Amino acid sequence: MKTKLTKELESTLYQYCFEQGSYVVEEVSMPDKKGIVDTLSYQQLADDKIEWRCYELKVTKSDFHSKAKLSFIGNYNYFVLPQKLYDEVAAEIPTHIGVLIYRAFDKKAIEASPQTLRAPGFLTVAKKAQYQDLQVDEKQLTSHFVASLSREVDKAKRVEKGLQLYSDDKLFKELQKRAKAGYDVYSPDHNLYDRFVDDLQNDAITALQDELDARNAEYQELKLQVQQLQKPNLEDKI
């Protein structure tokens, strides 16, 4: 599970790369079993060359010392760290690896901003990365990059479609789970099941009322037609 701080770094880095004119995607598996990079960016230069940048996000010292493989296979490679962590591990960072420092925006600055901020903080370059040749086959890396982009598009479409993707049976089972978990008999409004039932009942009552109104309108129309048919007969008798 990603921590709140990790998500903040990820969101800020995405915006940072976007503003640099790069295409960017998170969690890309590398060719040749070289691990999974936290964030990978692809930027096309003026001379039609491609520049690849790999970013590894770390928020704690134990995270920094994790045995997970660091996928620094790009032309430029960076750690993205909070300032406090950078102060603790600066001496351990290889010469050719760059460092971006994350700083959260001050709450007062956020409130005073004339427009909505697209990230929770900003990044500064504490250490520049040195260029290296790409460590994997570029065609394979491009294929992995596109596959990851496709995965993110699929996730976005699933969110957009929402519950349409789930069968009635799955939705019912999920509703049953939530009805059993933490049911509050004293506060029905807090229970998803009760709220759902109330909405169904309200919908049913509205539907029945609409049906009744429609039937009544038909009855009144038929009654008027009968009266109009009977009127000539009454005049003949007179």
Distance of CA 136 to the CA centre of its chain: 30
Please report the pLDDT score of residue 226 as a whole number. Answer: 78
**Distance (Å, rounded) from C-alpha 49 to C-alpha 65?**
34
User: What residue type is 171 in one-letter code?
Assistant: L
Lowest mean pLDDT among 29-43, 104-118, 151-165, 196-210: 196-210
Q: What is the mean pLDDT of residues 107-112?
A: 79
Please report where in the chains the tokens 């079993």 appear, as a residue: 33
Q: pLDDT band at 9, cuts 50/70/90?
A: very high
Number of C-beta neighbours around residue 151 at 10 A:
14
Q: For residue 179, which of 165, 163, 190, 168 has the smallest C-alpha distance? A: 190
Q: How confident is the model at residue 88 (pLDDT cuts 50, 70, 90)?
A: very high
pLDDT tens track for 114-159: 877 889 999 999 999 999 999 999 999 999 999 999 999 888 887 7
Mean pLDDT of the chain: 85
Does the structure show a pLDDT above 60 at 183?
A: no
Whether the per-residue pLDDT at 178 is higher than 80: the answer is no
Name the residue with higher pLDDT: 121 or 174: 121
Q: Do 24 and 17 touch, CB atoms closer than 8 A?
A: yes
Q: What is the pLDDT of residue 179?
A: 63
Q: What are phi and psi of 117, to 5 degrees?
A: -75, 140
Sheet holding 98-104, edge to edge: 23-29, 36-44, 50-57, 76-82, 98-104, 121-127
Q: If you search the block for the tokens 């956020």, which residue do you land on?
A: 110
The residue-averaged pLDDT of 168-173 equals: 74
Instruction: Tell me how crowded residue 8 is: count the other CB atoms within 10 A of its CB.
Output: 20
- Which residue, chain included where needed, has tokens 């290296």? 132
DSSP string, 31-100: GGG--EEEEEEEEE-TTS-EEEEEEEE--SHHHHT-SSPP---SSEEEEEEEHHHHHHHGGGS-TT-EEE
pTM of the predicted model, to two decimals?
A: 0.67
CA 231 to chain centre: 69
For residue 218, name the pLDDT band (cuts at 50, 70, 90): confident
